[in-house]
């Protein structure tokens, strides 16, 4: 048998923390308004911030006390009734079809490298025996050089890493005298 909660509900600690934050914030705010100190603005802002932070505890208390009957939770958490009549066959088939499609898409991303943000090379390296070998992750050294404003070479730097050619245009920064 589940315990019966009265008055404040299940999350009593969140309720009391919210009340404490409200009281503390109000006290600090009122001290900043009515007491003649040179840092009154700090107290006013701090009190308002503490009152604002009490909203977090109020939301926790409120959401912790929401009661949802198990009949409404059935479909949301996957608890399906067995005696739903003619729709159980159709809905079960649709659920299985949806699961297969989504797992197929997910697995195709895993096989193809996925949308990971890293550039992938379309070509594989050939080993000495002629077998195709996919490139392994390796460390790439990048050198940077400063370019003076007098150099105006419109050429591109070319780097070849693991059978991938990456071209990067040279850029320079103009500095105006101040």
Other C-beta atoms within 10 Å of 32: how many? 19
Residue 2 domain flag: no
**Is 16 a member of any domain?**
yes
Within a domain: 100: no
Query: What pLDDT digit, counting tens, does each position of 70-85 carry?
Result: 777 766 666 555 555 5
> How many structural domains are present in the chain?
2
Q: 3-state DSSP call for residue 125?
A: strand
| 153 — pLDDT class (breaks 50, 70, 90) | low
- 58 located within any domain: yes
Question: Is the whole-model pTM more than 0.75?
Answer: no
Burial of 163 (0-12, 13-18, 19+ CB in 10 A): middle
Q: What residues are paired with 156 via a beta bridge?
A: 169
Determine the average pLDDT of the residues in 29-50.
96
| 61 occurs within a structural domain | yes
Q: What is the mean pLDDT of the chain?
A: 75
In a domain, 94, yes or no: no
CB-CB neighbours of 57 under 10 Å: 20
- With both helix axes pointing from N to C terminus, report the angle between 12-34 and 40-64 in degrees, rounded to the nearest 10: 160
Looking at residue 69, what is its pLDDT? Answer: 78
Let me know if residue 82 belongs to a domain. Answer: no
Closest CA to 57 of 5, 7, 28, 19: 19
10 Å CB burial of residue 53 (0-12, 13-18, 19+) is middle
Strand residues in 106-162 grouped as ranges (E): 125-126, 132-133, 156-161
Query: Which of 6-10, 21-25, 78-82, 119-123 is most confident?
Result: 21-25
Is 124 a domain residue? Answer: yes
Range of the domain at 51: 12-68
Summarised one tens digit per residue, pLDDT across range 86-138 is: 456 787 788 888 888 888 888 887 777 655 545 545 445 555 555 555 555 56
């Amino acid at each position: 048998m589940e315990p019966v909660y009265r008055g404040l509900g299940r999350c009593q600690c969140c309720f009391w923390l919210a009340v404490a934050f409200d009281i503390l914030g109000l006290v600090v705010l009122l001290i900043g308004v009515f007491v003649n100190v040179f840092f009154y603005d700090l107290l006013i802002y701090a009190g308002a911030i503490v009152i604002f932070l009490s909203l977090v505890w109020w939301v926790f208390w409120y959401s912790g006390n929401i009661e949802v009957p198990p009949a409404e939770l059935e479909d949301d958490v996957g608890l399906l009734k067995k005696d739903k009549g003619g729709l159980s066959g159709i809905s079960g088939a649709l659920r299985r079809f949806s699961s297969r499609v989504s797992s197929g898409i997910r697995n195709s991303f895993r096989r193809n490298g996925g949308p990971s943000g890293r550039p992938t090379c379309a070509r594989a390296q050939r080993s000495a025996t002629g077998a195709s070998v996919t490139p392994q992750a390796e460390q790439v050294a990048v050198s940077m050089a400063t370019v003076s404003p007098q150099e105006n070479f419109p050429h591109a730097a070319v780097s070849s890493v693991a059978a991938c050619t990456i071209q990067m245009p040279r850029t320079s920064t103009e500095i105006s005298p101040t």
